[in-house]
Amino acid sequence: MKLEGNEGHGGAKTSSRKRTASESKRDESPTDRKRSKDGERDKKEETELKHKAKHSSSKHPRKPLQEPKITSSGGLKAVSENNHADVKTKGVAMDASLPSEKNTIDLNNNISAKHTESDERKVIKTEIREVDLFAPIEHSDMERSDKKSKKTGHSQKDNKHKHKSKSSKKGHHGTDERNPEQRKVGEISANSSDGNSKKRKSKDSCETDVLPTSDSKKETAVKKENAKKEREKKDRSGKDTKTTGKKKPEGKEESRKKKKDGDDGKSKKGGKKEGEDSTWKWWEEGNSNNGIKWTTLEHKGPLFPPEYEPLPNNVSFFYNGNPIKLTLPAEEVATFYAKMLDHEYTTKSSFQENFFTDWREEMTVEEREQIKKLSKCDFTHINKYFLDKSEEKKAMTKEQKQVLKEENNKLTEEYGFCELDGHREKIGNFRVEPPGLFRGRGEHPKMGKMKKRIQPEEITINCSKGSNIPVPPKGHRWRKVQHDNTVTWLASWVENVQGNFKYVMLNPSSKLKGEKDWQKYEVARKLKLKVETIRRLYREDWKNREMKTRQRGVALYFIDKLALRAGNEKEESETADTVGCCSLRVEHITLHQEKGGQEFMVEFDFLGKDSIRYYNEVPVEGRVFKNLKLFMENKEPEDDLFDRINTTYLNKYLNQSMPGLSAKVFRTFNASTTLQEQLNKLTTADMSLEEKLLSYNRANRAVAILCNHQRAAPKTFEKSMQNLQDKIAQKQQQLDVAKNELKEARKEHKKGGTERTRKLVEKTESVVKRLEEQLKKLQLQMTDREENKVIALGTSKLNYLDPRISVAWCRKFNVPIEKIYNKTQRDKFAWAIDMTEEDFQF
**Enzyme catalytic residues:** 800
**CA separation (Å) from 368 to 256, 319, 690?**
77, 12, 63
| CA dist., res. 655 & res. 368, Å (int) | 56
Eight-state DSSP code of residue 321 = T
Nearest CA to 338 among 387, 393, 391, 394? Answer: 387
| CA dist., res. 302 & res. 491, Å (int) | 7
**Chain centroid to CA 463: how far?**
23
| CA dist., res. 506 & res. 282, Å (int) | 15
| CA dist., res. 671 & res. 189, Å (int) | 58
Please tell me whether residue 257 adopts helix, strand or coil conformation.
Answer: helix
**Chain centroid to CA 685: how far?**
28
Q: DSSP labels for 348-403? A: SHHHHHHHHHHHHHHS-HHHHHH---GGGEE-HHHHHHHHHHHHHHHT--HHHHHH
CB-side neighbour CA atoms (13 Å) of 258: 14
Nearest CA to 190 among 225, 151, 221? Answer: 225
| CA dist., res. 167 & res. 157, Å (int) | 19
| CA dist., res. 90 & res. 201, Å (int) | 45
End-to-end CA distance of the chain: 60
| CA dist., res. 720 & res. 53, Å (int) | 76
Angle between helices 547-562 and 663-682 (to 10 degrees): 30
| CA dist., res. 42 & res. 217, Å (int) | 12
Residue 643 contacts by C-beta under 8 Å, 6 or more apart in sequence? Answer: 551, 631, 635
452-491 in b/e form (b: 16+ CB < 10 A) is ebbebebbbbbbbeeeebbebeeeeebbeeeeebeebbbb
